[in-house]
Structure 1
């Protein structure tokens, strides 16, 4: 059970116990009717029914909250990755464009089959970012 659910169950248990014990004290001063069932058993039955219904209700609540939280975390992670990628591309454009253009002159002097993978990647980057 979640901590919120435990707090709710405890608060309701305290409330039910408070009223059940005050009812028992009020009944203790009255004359007892032999036909009526004992109040402690009735209170225990009511308390058990209430707690079991709360536990059943609590069991279904965390699923929707957990799903909502997972959806939020997934969306947040996607946004963070997108922002990181955009920031990195902006950084590359500001800081490497001049250098890559300088290197481009020496790369173009080489033949295509003599280019390394890095040099090919630099040319591709310059084509896509001009």
Structure 2
């Protein structure tokens, strides 16, 4: 259990114990014995219900993670393309711009497909 879950459970337990003790004192009109069966049963029941409530939180997290995984799988191709384009822009733009000067001196018939692709890429990403 996470530390947040433990903190919530501890705070809930303390609050419930104080509330149960004060209600029991009001009903009996005297301070209850800490070992009475009703007090122990009440505390155990409250602790059990608090424990069950805290175990339901990971289920909602699991559902949320599954939702995000599904969305990620649906957009995988688009995201991969964006990452690749970002990589090219960060790492090759300076190199392609440097090559641009030598490529512009060549005539269109002398350019290879790769060199034409570099010029097209530079026009799109300026």
Task: Tell me, in whole angstroms, the C-alpha distance in 2 between the residues paired with 1:8 and 1:111.
Answer: 69
Please name the residue that 1:46 is paired with. Answer: 42
Unmatched 5+ stretches in structure 2: 73-77
> Deviation of residue 99 (structure 1)?
1.8
Cα distance between partner residues in 2 of 1:14 and 1:42: 17
Q: Is the 8 A contact 2:9 2:54 kept in 1?
A: no
TM-score, normalising length from structure 1? 0.53
By how many angstroms is 1:14 displaced? 1.9
Gaps of 5+ in 1: 31-37, 113-119
The CA RMSD over aligned residues, in Å, is: 4.4
Higher RCO (CA 8 Å, separation ≥ 6 residues):
1
- Displacement of 1:10: 0.9
Aligned to 1:125: 118
In the alignment of these two chains, the number of paired residues is 111
Q: TM-score scaled to structure 2, two decimals?
A: 0.54
Deviations 1:72-124 (A, max 9, x none): 9x97xx98x9478437516644x234422233246978686xxxxxxx53432
Cα distance change of structure 1 residues 98 and 25 upon mapping to structure 2, 3 Å threshold: closer
Structure 1 equivalent of residue 86 of structure 2: 86
Which of structures 1 and 2 has the bigger CA Rg? 1
**Hey, which bits of structure 1, 4+ residues long, moved more than 3 A?**
16-30, 65-72, 81-88, 90-93, 105-112, 120-123
